[in-house]
Amino acid sequence: MREVAVLVVGAGPAGLAAAARLAAAGVRRVEVLDREQQAGGVPRHCAHGGYGTWLHPLTGPEYARFLVTAAQGAGAAVRAGVTALDWAGPLALHTVGALGPEVIGARAVVLATGARERPRAARLVPGTRPAGVYTTGELQQAVHLYGQHIGKRAVVIGAEDVSYAAADTVRAAGAMVVAMVTDLPRPQTAPARALNARLRQGVPLLTGTTVTELLGHGRLSGVRVRHHDGRTAVLPCDTVVFTGDFVPDHELARRGGLILDAGTRGPAVDGSLHTSRPGVFAVGSVLHAVESAATAAREGAHVADAVLERLAGAERSQAVPLMADPPLRWIAPNRVTPADRLPYVLRTTASLSRPVLHVTQDGRYLHRERLRAAVPNRTVKLTARWTHRVDPKGGPVRVTLTDR
Partner 1 sequence: MTGGTHGPVTRRGPLPSSTYDIAVVGAGVVGSAIARALAHHPRLRVALVEAQDDVGQGSSKANTAILHTGFDAVPGSLEARLVREGAHLLAEYAAESGIPVEPVGALLVAWDEEQLAALPRLAGKAERNACRDTRLIGSAELYECEPHLGPGARAALHVPGESIICPWTTTLAYATQAVRHGVDLHLNCRVEKASRCDETHVLHTARGALRARWLINAAGLHADTLDRALGHDDFTVTPRRGQLLVFDKLARDLVRHILLPVPTALGKGVLVAPTVYGNVLLGPTAEDLHDKCATDSTADGLALLREKGRRIMPELLDEEVTAVYAGLRAATEEDDYRISAHPDQAYVTVGGIRSTGLTASLAIAAYVTELLTDAGLDLGPAEDLAPVRMPNLGEAFPRPYQRPELIVADPEYGTLVCHCERVSRGEIRDALASTVPPAGLDGLRRRTRARAGRCQGFYCGAAVRALFEEARG
Binding of residue 172 to partner 1 (CB under 8 A) = no
**Distance between CA atoms of residues 144 and 394, nearest Å:** 51
Is 231 near partner 1 (CB under 8 A)?
A: no
If binding is defined by CB under 8 A, does position 100 make contact with partner 1? yes
Rule CB under 8 A: is residue 381 a binding residue for partner 1?
no
CA neighbours closer than 13 Å in the CB half-sphere of residue 297: 21
Report the SS3 class of residue 355.
Answer: strand
Report DSSP letters for 266-335, one per residue.
SB---TT-B-SSTTEEE-GGGTSS---HHHHHHHHHHHHHHHHHHHTTPPPPP-EEEEE-TTEEEEES-E
Q: Can you tell me the distance from the alpha carbon of 72 to that of 91, in angstroms, rounded to the nearest whole number?
A: 23
Instruction: Report if residue 254 touches partner 1, rule: CB under 8 A.
Output: yes
Main-chain dihedrals φ then ψ at residue 403, nearest 5 degrees: -95, 140
Distance of alpha carbon 253 from alpha carbon 14, whole angstroms: 16
Residues 198-227, interacting with partner 1 (CB under 8 A): 212-213, 217
Interface pick for partner 1 out of 49, 57, 73, 126 (rule CB under 8 A) = 126
Nearest distance in Å: CB 166, partner 1: 12
Q: Check binding of 138 to partner 1 (CB under 8 A).
A: yes
CB of 214 to partner 1, least distance (A): 8
Q: Please, which residue, 117 or 340, has the CB nearer to partner 1? A: 117
Part in contact with partner 1 (CB under 8 A); list of ranges 59-67, 139-147, 322-330, 389-397: 139-147
Which stretch, 3-11, 120-128, 283-291, 367-375, contacts partner 1 (CB under 8 A)?
Answer: 120-128
Please choose, out of 17-25, 92-100, 156-164, 230-238, the segment that lies near partner 1 by the rule CB under 8 A.
Answer: 92-100
Closer residue to partner 1, CB minimum distance, 32 or 397 = 32
Half-sphere exposure of 345 (CA within 13 A, CB side): 21
d(CA 395, CA 320): 7
Cα 275 from chain centroid? Answer: 17
List contacts with partner 1 (CB under 8 A).
35-37, 81, 83, 85, 96-101, 116-122, 124, 126-129, 131, 134-135, 137-138, 141-142, 145-146, 148, 212-213, 217, 247, 251, 254
